[in-house]
Amino acid sequence: MTLDIRDGIAIIALDHPPVNSLSLALRERIVEQLDAAASNPAVRGIVLAGGERAFSAGADLTEIGTPRQFQEPILRTVIDRIESSSKPVVAAIAGVALGGGLELALGCHRRVALETARVGLPEINLGLIPGSGGTQRLPRLIGIAAAQALMSSGAQQNARQLAGSGLLDEVVSADVVGAATTLVTKIVDSGAPFPRARDRNLDISEVRTIVVAQREKLTARQRLQPAYGALLDALVASSLPFDEGMKKERELFLDLVPTAAAQALRYQFKATQDATKRPTELTAPPRRVGTVAVIGAGTMGSGIAIAALDAGLTVQLIEQDAEALDRGRERIVEHYRARVAVGKLSQEIASSNGDRLRAVIDWHVLRDADLVIEAVFEDLGVKQDVFRKIDAHARPGAILATNTSYLDIDQIAAVTSRPEDVLGLHFFGPAEVMKLLEVVRGSKTAADVVATGMSVGSTLKKVPVLTGNAFGFVGNRIYNAYRRQCEFMLEDGAWPEDVDRALTDIGFAMGPFTVADLSGLDVAWRMRKAQAATRDPRERYVAILDRLCEAGRLGRKAGAGYYTYVDGKQSKTTDEAVRYVIIKASAQRGLHRRRLKPEEIQRRALLAMVNEAALLLAEGVAGRPSDVDVVLVHGYGFPRWMGGPVFWARKQDRAQLQADLRNLAEEGGHGFVLADLSPLLNA
C-alpha cells in the first residue's frame, strides 16, 4: 500500500467514482490508509480528501438492506478510527458531503471546504436519522438548534453560509487540499491536543428546552413519520456522555430501518430515479435546448417561464395582447422581487434571470426558439389555431409542446406540418414549484423529441415521467377516478369534511373537496357540461358539484363552494345549504345515508386509485407501475412516506384487495371498469 505523503502530511484520497459512496471496499481502504499513516514515522498529520464532484455523497444505496451495509468496518468504525487517530486528520471538502459523507467529515478534527461545496444530512428524506454519529457530533459542533434545523430539513447548505460555524472551520475559494494541509500542519506544530467533537459537552437543560419546543412544532405530516420524533430523541441523547448518546442513536436508527415509512421512502427514491431515466429504447440523443418560447402568460405560462429562467434558459414570453402580456410579465417580476425580499435569492441572480426574459406579442421571435411551450386556454380550437401559428413561425427542428391537461396531443399535432416534433409537456401548478412533469408521447412524436422532453424536464429540475396520450394522461386520470369515488361517498353518507379529514389524517396534503374549492368548481363544471352529450345515462353520475355551481358556489374565489370562506378562511364544516344538496342527491339515488368510518373512506379512495392505475398500465398509458406512484407523490400531494397507491396495494392482503375492489365496482355501478390487478401487483 503506497501512501501519498507531502511535507510530512499524508493525503488519503477517497477514490470511488462518481461520488465516493461509502461502499465496503472504500471503508476498508480508508482504514488501511489510516493504519499506514499511523505506523509511518514520516507522517505527522493526515488530510482526508474527496474528488472535485464529491467529498462523499454518503452511503452506498446499493448496499442498503444487504449484509454488506453492516459488515465491518462499518462507517461508525471508520469514523471512530479517524477521531481517535494519534495524528490529526483534517477533511478537505469539495463538491458534496452528504449523509454518511458529512458524518465522516464530522469525525475529522477540523474541516476545510471549497466555497462551492454543499453539505447536508438528508437521511430524514429516507425516513431515517443519521446513524454514524451525526446526531451526536453535529450538535456538539454547531449547537443543538442549528443541528436540529439542518437534520430535520434534510436540505443541503452552501459552504459559504457555514463559514466559521464549527461545522466548517475554513472556507476557501481554491486549492482546498492545500488549505487543509496548511491547517493540519498548524495543528501539529502547535503541539496542543487536537479538537474532537466527542470531547465536548452540551448543556442538558438547553438541549431539553429546544427539543421540547421542536416537538411541539412538528407538523401533522411530520408526526405521521417516525423519523422526526426519533431525531428529537437522538438529539436529547446528545446531552448524555458521548458513548451513551452514540448507543442511543444506533438503537433509534436500527428501529427506523424496517418501518413502513422508511421502506416506502426508499422505494419512492428509486421509483423517481427510474421514472426520470430515459427509456432504453430511446437511444436518439436529445436536441439542444437553449431558448424556450412560452405562449400564453397566464397562471401556467408565467410559472413555466420562471422554471426555465431559473434553469438558465433564455425565455420568450408571447401573448395575444399587451395587457395580458403585462400581467404575465408583472407576475414574473413580482415572483423574483418576493424571493429576493425573503433572502431566498440574490439580487444578482434575480437580475440575471430577468435579463434572459423577452416578453413580446410578435410571433416572429419564434424563429430563435429551440422549444415552444403552449399554455393558452384549454380549448382544442384555440390550441389548434395557436399551433398553426407556431408551425408558421418556428424554425425547422424546433420542438413544439403543449401544456394541455386533457386534450388529445394527436389532434393538436395534426394541424401542423410536423407532427413528429409535437409532444405534451404537462406541468403542474404552481409550475415554478411543483416537481412533476408528464412528458406525453403522441402517436407520431419522434424518439428524439421524447428524449428532449425528458432531458428538458431534468434541466428544469422537474421529475419527468413519460406517459401515453390518453384523456388526462396518468395523473388526472387517476385523480378523476379518486375524486369520483369521493363523490360517491358523499351520496353514500359522508360529508365533504369527513372525506377531507380522513385523507389528510393519513397525510394527503389536502382533501379532494378542499382542492376542488381551491382550483374552482367551474373548471370541472365546464368539462362536465361539455361531456354531457356523450355521457352514458346508466352511469352513476353525482350531480352535487353541478348544483353547487348553479347556486353560485364556484369555490374559494367565490367565497363558497363545498365550504364557505370568510376572509379567505375555510369553514370547518360545510353549511346547511351544501348538506341539503347532498342529502337530496342521496335521496334521488334511493340511498339510505349511513356514517362512513375514516378507514372505509381511506380504503375506498386508495382502491379507486389502484384500480385506475391498473387500467392505465393495461392500456400502456403508464409505462411501469412505479411511475404511477411517482406521479401521485410529486404532482398530487400523495404522502411520500406511503410510497404511492401501487406500493400501498402491494402491502395489502391480495384476496381482500380483490374482494374490496369487486364491491367498489358493484357500488360504482355501470361504467366502473374493474381492472385486473395482477400486472400491477406482480411487477
Question: Does residue 298 belong to the site contacting ligand NAI (CB under 6 A)?
Answer: yes
Q: CA quadruple 303, 304, 306, 311: dihedral positive or negative?
A: positive
Grid cell for residue 275? 421514472
CA proximity to 120, closest of 58, 50, 195: 58
Q: Should residue 375 be labelled a site residue for ligand NAI when binding is judged by CB under 6 A?
A: yes
Can you name the residues that pair with 89 across neighbouring β-strands? 46
Phi, psi of 55, deg, nearest 5? -65, -60
CA distance 500 to 571: 13
State how far the Cα of 373 lies from the Cα of 23, in Å rounded to an integer.
Answer: 43
Smallest distance, ligand NAI to C-beta of residue 324, A:
4
CB of residue 329 vs ligand NAI: minimum separation in angstroms?
Answer: 11
Question: Which residue in 391, 400, 389, 448 sits closest to 424, CA to CA?
Answer: 400
Instruction: Answer yes or no whether residue 300 interacts with ligand NAI by CB under 6 A.
Output: yes
48 pairs with which residues across the strands?
12, 91
* Binding footprint of ligand NAI, residue count (CB under 6 A): 22
Choosing from 70, 199, 377, 461, the residue that interacts with ligand NAI (CB under 6 A) is 377
**What type of residue sits at position 582?**
I
Catalytic residues, by residue number, are 103, 123
Contact partners, residue 4, CB within 8 Å, separation at least 6: 10, 11, 12, 13
Q: Does 320 bind ligand NAI (CB under 6 A)?
A: yes
Nearer to ligand NAI, 476 or 602 (CB): 476
Question: Is 382 a binder of ligand NAI (CB under 6 A)?
Answer: yes
Does position 299 interact with ligand NAI (CB under 6 A)? The reply is yes
Name residues contacting ligand NAI, limited to 414-453 (CB under 6 A): 427-429
Burial of 594 (0-12, 13-18, 19+ CB in 10 A): exposed
335-374 footprint of ligand NAI as x/- string (CB under 6 A): ----------------------------------------
Is residue 457 near ligand NAI by the rule CB under 6 A? no
Helix, strand and coil in the chain, % to nearest 5 = 55, 15, 35
Q: How far is the CB of 301 from ligand NAI (least distance, A)?
A: 6
Toward ligand NAI, which CB reaches closer, 404 or 626? 404
Q: Which of 267, 428 has the CB closer to ligand NAI?
A: 428
Measured CA to CA in angstroms, residue 665 lies from 61, 80, 592 at distances of 41, 59, 19
DSSP, residue by residue, 435-486: -EEEEEEPTT--HHHHHHHHHHHHHTT-EEEEEESSTTTTHHHHHHHHHHHH
Which CB, 322 or 673, lies closer to ligand NAI? Answer: 322
Does 471 engage in binding with ligand NAI (CB under 6 A)? no
Residue in 249, 319, 491, 498 binding ligand NAI, rule: CB under 6 A: 319
User: Distance between CA atoms of 589 and 539, rounded to whole angstroms?
Assistant: 12
Asked if 469 touches ligand NAI (CB under 6 A), the answer is no
Selected from 75, 376, 585, 630, the binder of ligand NAI by CB under 6 A is 376
Nearer to ligand NAI, 24 or 436 (CB): 436
Q: Which three cell numbers stand for residue 192?
A: 496542543
Q: Of 139, 301, 635, 645, which one interacts with ligand NAI (CB under 6 A)?
A: 301
**Which one of the spans 103-111, 297-305, 331-339, 656-664 is the region binding ligand NAI (CB under 6 A)?**
297-305
CB 681, min distance to ligand NAI, A = 31
How far apart are the C-alpha atoms of 375 and 303, rounded to whole Å?
A: 10
For residue 526, CA distances in Å to 375, 402, 529, 550 come to: 18, 21, 5, 12
| Grid coordinates of 71 | 459488515
Asked whether 616 and 477 are in contact (CB, 8 A), the reply is: yes
316 touching ligand NAI, by CB under 6 A: no
Contacts of residue 164, Cβ cutoff 8 Å, sequence gap at least 6: 170, 171
| Cβ neighbours of residue 388 closer than 8 Å, sequence gap 6 or more | 415, 416
DSSP label at residue 197: G
CB of 428 to ligand NAI, least distance (A): 6
The smaller minimum CB distance to ligand NAI, of residues 183 and 293, is found at 293
476 binds ligand NAI (CB under 6 A): no
The window from 254-262, 377-385, 458-466, 547-555 that contacts ligand NAI (CB under 6 A) reads 377-385
Rounded to whole angstroms, how far apart are CA atoms 196 and 199? 6
Task: Give whichever of 37 and 440 is closer to ligand NAI, judged by the CB atom.
Answer: 440
Applying CB under 6 A, among 314, 403, 514, 626 the residue interacting with ligand NAI is 403
Residue pair 406/527 in contact by the 8 Å Cβ criterion: yes
Least separation in angstroms between residue 385's CB and ligand NAI is 6
Q: What's the grid cell of residue 234?
A: 437522538
Nearer to ligand NAI (CB atom), residue 457 or residue 668: 457
CB of residue 403 to ligand NAI, shortest distance in Å: 4
Our finding on whether 386 is near ligand NAI (CB under 6 A) is yes
Of all residues in the shown chain, the one whose CB is closest to ligand NAI is 298
From candidates 119, 177, 256, 297, binder to ligand NAI by CB under 6 A: 297
One-letter amino acid of 642: M
Specify whether the CB–CB gap between 271 and 256 falls below 8 A.
no
Q: Which of 296, 625, 644, 645 binds ligand NAI (CB under 6 A)?
A: 296
Give me the residues that bind ligand NAI (CB under 6 A), please.
Answer: 295-301, 319-320, 324, 375-378, 382, 386, 403-405, 427-429
